[in-house]
Structure 1
Amino acid sequence: MEILKGEKGVTLVEVLASITLLSIVLITLMNIFPQMGMMNNYNKMKTQGINTAKEVLLKWQNDNDRLKLFFDTPDVSVIPEFKQITGNVYNFEYVNGDFIVRVDVNKNFSKKSDIYNAHLIVVKLYNIEKPDTVVSETYGYVKIRR
């Protein structure tokens, strides 16, 4: 008991110093949470974009009847949900949820494409809020079964 009698307690300066240090630590931690939320939204958009791009590519690859008609005729009206943008490479785009989907189909990119009936297709997804930002991009080949 004699040891505790000599203690005087905590001074006001020590209390203020501890509150200041605790505030600095908490403010630093609070700044991390909004950045984590933004990163989660970015990753969500990227994951959805990758999945959507793969779905679009598979849709094009599995629609042989319409693709055959598309490659045999110069008329792009056989794919009504797309609108043609330019002439040489066939570029189509449409809106799918949060994305602008752009599909570039190269009808004859080499002589081998005629032999194997394989044509390059590139699928790019743009953010609908920022149309200049590419969210995801994939490519593959469409093969026309005759």
Structure 2
Amino acid sequence: MKYLNSKGLTLIELLAAITILSIVLITFFGFLTQSMFFSTKTENKLTSVHVAERVLYEVKTNLTEGDLSAFSQPCSATPLTVVPGGYYGLVEDETGHFYYETNNNVYYPIVTLCQTEDEQALNVYRVQVKIYDHEADPPVLLGETFDYIQ
């Protein structure tokens, strides 16, 4: 009786190894794709907060007493929007909105001023900056910040 040489791999063993390897690779690539998606989303949010803080600094630095009285509203009402044109880094688009572009993304800041009765008694104004992504429909709020000025 003659015995067969069993030093090689059979077709079944080879198919099983390829199947297991495919499952591992598909799982890994799925994880990698999700990781890249969340990384991009987090970078976008962090950049929007940075842009909001930068615009807030510019507004606080450049606002005059006339601007405060012209744009201030009670916070219970719909606050008026301060047009942030002319501040460093902001560009006006064809629709008249101002935007800030960085990291190949466009961020649209909306700046509002308002006062509650308590803030009025303290003679402070609340400046709020919201950053929107206008490419989404409807626009998506990416980040916001606020501060007080006298």
Give the TM-score normalised by the residue count of structure 2: 0.70
* Cα distance in 2 between the residues matched to 1:126 and 1:105: 17
Deviation per CA, 1:64-91: give whole Å up to 9, x if none: xx4312124x3x6xxxxxxxxxx85221
The one-letter amino acid paired with 2:6 is K
Aligned residues: CA RMSD: 2.4
1:138 Cα deviation after fit: 0.9
* Correspondent of 1:70 among 64, 67, 72: 67
* Cα distance in 2 between the residues matched to 1:134 and 1:70: 25
* Cα distance in 1 between the residues matched to 2:11 and 2:68: 83
* Cα distance in 1 between the residues matched to 2:24 and 2:13: 17
| Aligned counterpart, 2:34 | 35
Please say which of residues 131-140 and 113-122 is displaced more in the overlay.
113-122
Any stretches of 5+ residues in structure 2 without a counterpart? 72-76, 84-97
User: How many residues are paired up?
Assistant: 123
* Cα distance in 2 between the residues matched to 1:32 and 1:100: 32
Pair 1:121 & 2:118 matched: no
1:115 Cα deviation after fit: 4.1
The one-letter amino acid paired with 1:101 is P
1:109 Cα deviation after fit: 2.1
The one-letter amino acid paired with 1:68 is E
* Correspondent of 2:112 among 104, 113, 117: 104
Question: If you compute each CA radius of gyration, which structure gives the higher value, 1 or 2?
Answer: 1
Identity value in percent: 24
* Cα distance in 2 between the residues matched to 1:137 and 1:88: 17
Matches within 5 A, 1:78-89: 89=79
| Aligned counterpart, 1:8 | 6
Give the TM-score normalised by the residue count of structure 1: 0.72
| Aligned counterpart, 1:136 | 143
* Cα distance in 1 between the residues matched to 2:52 and 2:134: 14
Q: Which structure shows the bigger proportion of residues in helix conformation?
A: 1
Deviation per CA, 1:23-54: give whole Å up to 9, x if none: 11112112222222222211111111111111
* Cα distance in 1 between the residues matched to 2:30 and 2:120: 57
CA contact (8 A) 1:60 1:142 kept: no
The one-letter amino acid paired with 2:124 is A
- Equivalent position SS for 2:135: coil
